[in-house]
Amino acid sequence: MTENENITTLLKEKRLFKPSALFQKTAYLPSFSALQTLRKKILKKPELFWAAEARKLKWIKPFKKVLVWNPPFAQWFPDGKINISENCLDRHLITARKNKAAILWEGEPGDTRTLTYQELHREVCRFANVLKNIGIVKGDRVSIYLPMIPELPIAMLACARIGATHSVIFGGFSAEALKERNVDAQAKLLITADGGYRKGQAIPLKANADIALAGSPSVEKVVVVRRTGAPVAMLSGRDFWWHELMRSASSVCPPEPLDSEHPLFILYTSGSTGKPKGALHTTAGYLTQAAWTTRMIFDLKEEDTYWCTADIGWVTGHTYIVYGPLSNGATVVMYEGAPLHPQPDRCWEIIEKYRINVFYTAPTAIRTFIKFGEEWPKKHDLSSLRLLGTVGEPINPQAWLWYHQVIGKSKCPIVDTWWQTETGAIMISPLPGATPLKPGSATAPLPGIQADVVDKTGKPVPPDQGGYLVIQKPWPAMLRTIYGDPERFKKQYWSQIPGAYFTGDGARKDKDGYFWIMGRIDDVIKVSGHRLGTAEIESALVSYPQVAEAAVVGRPDEVTGEGIVAFVTLQGRTQPDPILREKLIEHVAKVIGAVAKPSEIRFTDALPKTRSGKIMRRLLRELATSGQVKGDVTTLEDFSVLTKLQAAEEEE
């Protein structure tokens, strides 16, 4: 389905799904009018609402100031002191949660581990002492490059406990990408593993890390978790085994009192230029919004078992596997491997096995499940489910309805949650006991969040007209800056639309005020919910010796949301051939990671450019999508380029 068809379908979507009386009976926010009352109450002073939520956390020193706003720099609860790991762990140990499962982990091969809150606390304290013993102090940056194993949240919480700032790098990223992030963050320590399992294979993380380390001079030490047992090179004096360091580590480690604005983590994300941006998130505001959204949007109850299928290497995993659920004392399922391994019903098997109540996944996963057919979920008892969620990209109404009927048996509300790495936590979403749902719409901004769809001057556009999605007031979990580059932070987010944070997304609001996200308007593409910059992929392609120029565009894809199409021109006399095509695809995987592999490479003699030399990606996008160019071409410098590209299209 093309983008336009999709939007047309969305425009026609008129169905409304109201929360059932049964769901409302136990919901925290049990009716539309309760939501309206809450909205009205906090509309004028949203910061007082967030302050009341913040006070529900455990503080080492309570705050008096709520918000200091020197646009675009915000400080939330700046005079308070708090520790996130204490809020996620210690706080529960004096309640009935102390022996409750915090993490139910399942490895891809089927091995399992359970960590109760008490056990998780012990492991975190011990690893926090390991960090101290090897010289990590408050303020240091720690890179974490791990598979989805319990040591990953343990390492994050241990950093948070002593005030080290973690930078988690998705295990699917390449050595190059890891190196770039180590260097940008000036990380002092790297935590990695011998490997991790994915699709039945052991991914060699330590081997990748070794390549990265050759170019990461700031990294002094490396801690290696044994996961697969694969042989790895250990450099004496630099590399240490996790289990050996843990053996002698004390399990007593009081949480460090940290300023509310202490940097909790950096998470790198793609933007419209080649260099990934390190979104910097801090402590108290982030946790306040993470905790509130987790509780209210997932309507999370003490007895629930909750599963978010994201990888912790992306922001969804940070907020909705680790900090949000654990600060609420929830039981979290964590799965190491691929969703279709060994068979397409692995997810349904896990839901049945752990009797999962709340399930949060991505539209691309849902579309993949649809492709494999209903017989796979039908083999399993999914009756424990009571709430479903989606994140990462717009969900097409067809996929929404399948999810609702086949997985949710028409009784589970679906929360379509819109947010970004930069926003830190969910911003636009239904509240499941209160909001009538329209398939394909993330519905409305949360109470306490002021967002709108505006034109270039910042003026709200009329209903059903497309515009820019902006956020007009600071929110507690917002990124504070781009690590090491406050100017870029200002320019990127706060200078495009007057007086507002620009999300980079296009959207429209319908007559009922429902938000419909229409996708990115900049050069960011989302492949299977993974955010990639076209500029990054282009620079990877151009770093290959025979490539002269490259232009990368996204093309709508039924399953992955978008697919990557690369237009490539070659150096000198190099002739295009299928082997070179394969080599280029592998090269991109090596430079960025397998997630960034182009699904198609088209060789061309020249790229369409404007007179000032800018590549006209819009034309390429049209070409890649529909095979034709119908849009305005008046700024094109050389028409013959386009003619040739179109002719090549017809040949293929």
For 373, the 3-state DSSP assignment is coil
Q: Where are the beta strands (DSSP E) in 52-155?
A: 59-61, 67-70, 73-76, 81-82, 101-106, 112-116, 141-145
CB of 421 to ligand 7RM, least distance (A): 4
CB of 418 to ligand 7RM, least distance (A): 4
Which among 147-155, 229-237, 346-354, 388-396 is the span making contact with ligand 7RM, rule CB under 6 A? 388-396
In the set 83, 420, 528, 534, which binds ligand 7RM (CB under 6 A)?
420
* Buried b or exposed e, range 139-154, using 16+ CB within 10 angstroms: ebbbbbbbbbbbbbbb
Q: Tell me the C-alpha distance between 183 and 82, whole Å.
A: 29
Give the position of tokens 């990461």: 216
Q: In this complex, which beta carbon is closest to ligand 7RM, that of residue 143 or of residue 421?
A: 421
In the set 116, 364, 417, 528, which binds ligand 7RM (CB under 6 A)?
417
Which among 205-213, 371-379, 411-419, 630-638 is the span making contact with ligand 7RM, rule CB under 6 A? 411-419
Q: Does 393 bind ligand 7RM (CB under 6 A)?
A: yes
Number of residues that bind ligand 7RM (CB under 6 A): 22
CB of 517 to ligand 7RM, least distance (A): 4
Query: What x/- string results for residues 422 through 461 when contact with ligand 7RM is judged by CB under 6 A?
Result: --------------------x-------------------
In the set 419, 475, 501, 502, which binds ligand 7RM (CB under 6 A)?
419
In the set 176, 416, 452, 522, which binds ligand 7RM (CB under 6 A)?
416
Q: In this complex, which beta carbon is closest to ligand 7RM, that of residue 167 or of residue 260?
A: 167
DSSP assignments along 182-241, one per residue: HHHHT-SEEEEES-EEETTEEE-HHHHHHHHHTT-TT--EEEEE-SS-------TTTEEE
Q: Tell me the C-alpha distance between 159 and 183, whole Å.
A: 19
CB of 423 to ligand 7RM, least distance (A): 8
Question: Which candidate, 257, 101, 278, 260, places its Cα nearest to that of 183?
Answer: 278
In the set 107, 196, 504, 556, which binds ligand 7RM (CB under 6 A)?
504
CB of 315 to ligand 7RM, least distance (A): 5
In the set 141, 206, 520, 555, which binds ligand 7RM (CB under 6 A)?
520
Peptide linkage before 257 cis (omega within 30 of 0) = no
User: Cα 468 to chain center, whole Å?
Assistant: 21
What contacts 454, CB < 8 A, 6 or more positions away? 460, 461, 467, 468, 470, 497, 500
Q: Does 391 bind ligand 7RM (CB under 6 A)?
A: yes
In the set 394, 447, 563, 598, which binds ligand 7RM (CB under 6 A)?
394
Contact 35, 29 (CB under 8 A): yes
What contacts 542, CB < 8 A, 6 or more positions away? 548, 549, 550
CB of 373 to ligand 7RM, least distance (A): 25
Angle between helices 46-54 and 32-42 (to 10 degrees): 100
Query: What x/- string results for residues 13 through 52 when contact with ligand 7RM is judged by CB under 6 A?
Result: ----------------------------------------
SS (H, E, C) 295-321: HHHCCCCCCCEEEECCCCCCHHHHHHH
Q: Torsion angle, CA of 366/371/376/378, rounded to 10 degrees? A: 70
In the set 80, 392, 474, 476, which binds ligand 7RM (CB under 6 A)?
392
Query: What x/- string results for residues 262 through 281 when contact with ligand 7RM is judged by CB under 6 A?
Result: -------x------------
Q: In this complex, which beta carbon is closest to ligand 7RM, that of residue 260 or of residue 421?
A: 421
For 522, the 3-state DSSP assignment is coil
Q: Tell me the C-alpha distance between 284 and 162, whole Å.
A: 15
CB of 260 to ligand 7RM, least distance (A): 23
Residues that bind ligand 7RM (CB under 6 A): 269, 314-316, 391-394, 416-421, 442, 503-505, 517, 520, 526, 531
